Amino acid sequence: MQAPLPTSARPRLTPRARWDNFQRRYAPYIFISPFFILFAIFGLFPIVFSLYLAFHSWQPAAGLGDMKLVGWRNFTDNLTDPTFWQSLRNTIVIGLESGIPQHLIAIPLAFAIHMGLRRMQGILTALYFAPYITSVVAITVIFFTLFSWQYGVVNAVLTSLHNLPVIGGLFPEEKINWLGNRNFVQPAVATVVVWRYVGWNVVLYLSGLQSIPKDLYEAASVDGATTWQQFRFITLPLLRPIMFVAVTLTLIGNLQLFEEPYILTGDSGGIGNMGLTTVMYMYRTYNFYGDAGLAAAMSWLLFIVIGVLTLVNNRIFGRSGLARAD
């Protein structure tokens, strides 16, 4: 049988050949259509709906007829709500407290794994990565007990470190009420986030390190560069593109933090609402106060914050990184 070439075969087409042409032509569209249909229903429509909702007052329990146009009121209500601002502040503080250490730990860690240990690389990476694949609920429940005030492992370890000679002074003498003291709720949440995502970033940075040509290191060590100098003048600059990717992912993820604080603080936001993130507050607004319009407006405000901060990050961090990435 001949290859069905549309142009040369046109004069006398058998039904079979016509069917072949038809399915060849439309098969790709049919094959990709499920994604677009599903996205239209469960992705695009909800977002448009949520924008519509943001300008309406609506208690879903009262049915669709109860929807009233209120203009910008949902936005102004949010913007004049001190708890909204607190949740945004909490989100950003926890985001910084977890985001910065994550990368400060992951970069040297990836460098050490990359440079030092060929045979152990697989297993070490897997160990560091394990927290990422476990359920946040499970993880947070564990940390909840580890952070327990009187009987927790964290305080037990800190106490025994305090009793060490010389370096003992670095560690607190009193037990810390991690989840019951407003100053420590955020660091506790941040610790869980750091623990969970360090391995993820290590893997990202490892793949970045593997793309750096080894001749650079060889040349440097021929010239007598120390490991530190190699790290400082070869690794760090060439890691910039991947750093940009990793930081952007952290930024977007951290601004939508929900599960860790939700479970650590037992969904209340913790003492003084210090663990209440914006997504948590949005969920509370919808679920407990039953105000869908207000919650939708809040999600758009958060979206704007995410957009602006991503752009800022792009500006100060991404320029050369983006240019070099592709």
Report 101-140 residues binding other proteins (CB under 8 A): 105, 109, 112-118, 120-122, 124-139
Q: Which of 286, 285, 264, 287 is nearest to 275 (CA)?
A: 264
Supply φ then ψ for residue 152, to 5 degrees: -80, 155
**Distance (Å, whole) CA 285 – CA 271:** 19
Instruction: Pick the closer one to other proteins by CB: 76 or 210.
Output: 210
In the complex with other proteins, the residue whose CB is nearer, 49 or 85, is 49
Euclidean distance between CA atoms 46 and 296, whole angstroms: 11
- Quote the Cα angle for 260-265-268, to 5°: 120
Beta carbon of residue 209, minimum distance to other proteins (angstroms, whole number): 8
Phi then psi dihedrals of residue 69, to 5 deg = -70, 125
Size of the site for other proteins (CB under 8 A): 107
Minimum separation from the CB atom of position 257 to other proteins (A): 10
Positions 224 through 243 that interact with other proteins (CB under 8 A):
226-227, 242
> Which of residues 184 and 262 has its CB atom nearest to other proteins in the complex?
262
For the segment 195-214, give every residue that binds other proteins (CB under 8 A).
195, 198-200, 203-204, 206-207, 210-214
Return the residues of window 152-181 that contact other proteins according to CB under 8 A. 152-153, 156
Smallest distance from other proteins to CB 296, Å? 5
Of the pair 5, 96, the CB lying nearest other proteins is at: 5
Alpha helices in 80-184 (DSSP H): 82-116, 121-129, 136-146, 153-162
| Rounded least distance, CB 309 to other proteins, Å | 12
Alpha carbon 270 to its chain centroid, in Å, reads 22
- Residues 250 to 309 in contact with other proteins, rule: CB under 8 A: 252, 255-256, 258-259, 263, 266, 278-279, 282-283, 286, 292, 295-296, 299-300, 302-303, 306
Phi, psi at 68, each rounded to 5°: -125, 135
Integer angstrom CA distances of residue 294 from 8, 42, 70, 90, 259: 62, 21, 11, 20, 21
Interacting residues with other proteins between 19 and 58 (CB under 8 A): 23-25, 27-29, 31-32, 34-36, 38-39, 41-43, 45-47, 49-50, 53
Distance separating alpha carbons of residues 315 and 302, to the nearest angstrom: 20
